[in-house]
Amino acid sequence: MGKGNILVVDDSPLVVDVISKYLSANGFDIITANDGIEAIEKAFRELPDLIILDVMMPRMNGYQTCRLLKSDHETSDIPIVMLTVKDQTSNKYWGIQTGADAYLSKEFEQAALLKTVEDLIQKRLKRPAPKSLIRGTSLISAVDIVSKVNEQLDKKLFEATVLNEMSSLVEKRIENFEDTVTVVMETLAKVLEHNVGVIVTIKESGVECFFKIRHAVSEQRLKEIQEYTRSYLKSHNVCLTPASVMEILGSDKIQPSHDAEERKASYFVVPIHYGSNIGGVVILAHDVSEAIDSKEVEFFKVVIRQAYVIIENSWLYNKVKNLAITDSLTGIYNHGFLYECLCKEYARTERYRLPLSFLMIDVDHFKKINDTYGHPVGDDVLHKLSLIFKNNIRSCDTLGRYGGEEFSIILPEAKMEDGVNLAERMRKEVEQHNFGGADRTIRCTVSIGISSYPDLGVKNVEDLIQKADKALYHAKAEGRNRVCIV
């Protein structure tokens, strides 16, 4: 019994003869073929221990032959050595990409060929052989080969099309994070249908989970998906804390739960690894259990990882952008961005002749709070005040920290009386709020000045700000804890 069966494939009889005699002399049994079609037929019939495959051949070249053999479960385990006169880097790259285990130039030294053959066969022997493979029972015709080639071409075209469409999203430069998630997940849904897509980012700063709802989902089902996400993360030593973000994108698609029992959701999970660490997760949840071909699983994972990179880049971009426009203490907009928004809103107001109101808010006796309780408590008071203001304004309004203990609010399409009503409501809520928590009582009040457009004294943005500032001064002068207009 020889050291193994080797299929030598080359359209040159001389090359076949030289390699066959050399390997035969070193204890191997040789099978030969003159082109790719014949090679595939004999590979399925003989199931050799190794194949030496020329690249440039008639009817079917070595790359195509190699790709087909490596894609079929009956022959994918057979080591393939690509042999060619081409020694360019790109040729070697493509040979390895088609699935070849080694790539040698035809100007090889015989000792190098023998070592490569012996190493690959030994490596294969150490792996358990597929149980279904019995030598001599796998037959394939030329028609079958053409069919398999067409199937491979169709599969590769499908994969290239999907990856190309996903890659094209990078060039769209969608700045809004939620819009990015929507576009990416809709593109992903073309090949992997799902009701809810979960994107988890895991950083040193914390864990953020985004639940993108594509189709109508019950409250109960959403809770199940959230619980599944928590359990999966916990099983990978990633624990959610009260500070972790759990954001719902597409909340308008949430429906009340019904008494009828829902079918169990199916999940397709792809962890995103950075080295040995898990840096993110994508979970696709679907009401219908959709079987995924095992051959396609790895490709779908590649697509999902690409989708995650696009979403993560958008997330990072928005994080950096928000750092530039956000006040780090309160989490609301800073002075610079607030002024930029006010300029844009004033221009829109002038153009369309719409009303606009502007509020300036100052914390009364804030220095006393800092002196009495310390600056950390003072910072906490500012943060809680920002939450009170944020909870009272509309989604179209803009809240910002004007500076120190001063806040400002831009109210588009709001008349003076609308601004006064809002200011008075917030003033009362602040006055009644305990900023000290359960263990102590800390009270504070605010003074608010309001300006609006149109107004005879307002000709530009600076006039709007100065009138609100002047009204705030009057509120302070008249005893604080009040709303004033001038």
Superfamily the domain 335-485 falls into: Reverse transcriptase/Diguanylate cyclase domain (3.30.70.270)
For residue 213, list its beta bridge partners: 196
Worst-scoring range by mean pLDDT, 38-52, 291-305, 385-399, 423-437? 291-305
Q: Using an 8 Å Cβ cutoff, are 442 and 357 in contact? A: no
The partner residues of 408 in beta bridges, in order of sequence, read 360, 400
Q: Which CATH number fits domain 171-321: 3.40.605.10, 3.30.450.40, 3.30.540.10, 3.40.50.300?
A: 3.30.450.40
**Model confidence over 45-57: pLDDT tens digits?**
899 999 999 988 8
Asked if pLDDT for residue 129 goes beyond 70, the answer is: no
Which residues lie across from 267 on neighbouring strands? 285
Query: Which CATH number applies to 5-140?
Result: 3.40.50.2300
- Indicate yes or no: pTM above 0.85: no
**Tens of pLDDT, residues 8-34:** 999 999 999 999 999 999 999 999 999
**372: closest CA among 381, 383, 384?**
381
Query: Which H or E element spans position 197?
Result: strand 196-203
Give the model's pLDDT for residue 210. Answer: 96
For residue 83, which phi and psi values (nearest 5 degrees)?
A: -130, 125
Domain ranges of the chain: 5-140, 171-321, 335-485
What element of type H or E holds 403? strand 398-403
* Bridge partner list, 7: 31, 51
Contact 20, 31 (CB under 8 A): no
